[in-house]
Amino acid sequence: MTAKLTVVRPGALTTVQDAGRTGHAHLGVPRSGALDAPAMRLANRLAGNPEGAAVLETTLTGCALRPDTDLTLVVGGAPCAVTVDGRPAPWGAPVRVPAGATLDIGPATHGLRTYVAAAGGIAVPPVLGSRSTDLLSGLGPAPLAEGDLLPVGRAADTAPWALPVAAPWPAPPTELVLPARLGPRADWFTATALRTFLSATYTVSVHSNRIGLRTEGPALKRRSAGELPSEGMVLGAVQVPPDGRPVVFLHDHPTTGGYPVIAVVAEEALAAAAQAVPGTAVRFAPC
């Protein structure tokens, strides 16, 4: 019989995510997948899963789950309080949750996104090779709602006591430094704008989401008021909309866009961007 998790409290935004839906950009399908991929992989390893198994990604307020059979779960990513039927449980380590008990993942105390891995992985049906929720295209399962039932796959034959009990989780950033390579449309901006982009301090906007990290700060002035035809967009592209404030494209980004891309941020830096709360200082550093 397939184990199931009942969603007791869905939180502000909790989605199913895995390693992503790669190879479909030519069809207009974004990559999606866990925004903090290292946190997802580490939680899966602690649960005895393959690194790319589907997990739950919560946003700021956590969630609560109730298994219908004894189940090992791991809560990692952004630090938070964890309880089982009101009793404190470890964060960043495997937790054996009895059938019918409620695992409550509290609000993030630092950072933004917490990951919940279940031994066996979240086994919702894959779409185009991935179980990830894509908020832009609507592919994959809908964000969690109260009362949802989530199937869990068969766990590896690893005794809970044999799993690791600690992990070096990286701390959420107090200042976000994003290595950026200028181009392909840097020539659309004035020399002053380019200097500003690589020297000014921006802050993470409250309007950021899985599609893009929006910033607040000095506007970047274009050389001309012309418009580009839509062209392909990649993960980490820094697009500059008409208000002049850079937007860093994250995993649910559109695959095409018409605003000029001043630079591209290295993919390995985007996990820290996923954990940067609104108001976090942001600097773009030449790559």
Q: What tens digit of pLDDT does each residue of 179-223 get?
A: 999 999 999 999 999 999 999 999 999 999 999 999 999 999 999
Q: Please calculate the CA angle 6-10-13 and round it to the nearest 5 degrees.
A: 140
Residue 207 vs residues 16, 130, 181, 224: alpha-carbon distances, Å: 21, 27, 24, 27
CB 201 within 8 A of CB 83: no
Distance CA 280, CA 275 (A): 10
* Nearest of 150, 131, 178, 181 to residue 7 by alpha carbon: 150
Q: In CATH, what is the architecture of 175-286?
A: Beta Barrel (2.40)
pLDDT at 165: 54
CA–chain centroid gap for 100, Å, is 29
CATH 2.40.100.10 in the chain, residue ranges: 175-286
Whether the pTM exceeds 0.85: the reply is yes
- Output the pLDDT for position 174: 87
- Which residues of the chain are under the pLDDT cut of 70? 1, 158-168
Task: Count CB-CB contacts under 10 A for residue 268.
Answer: 11
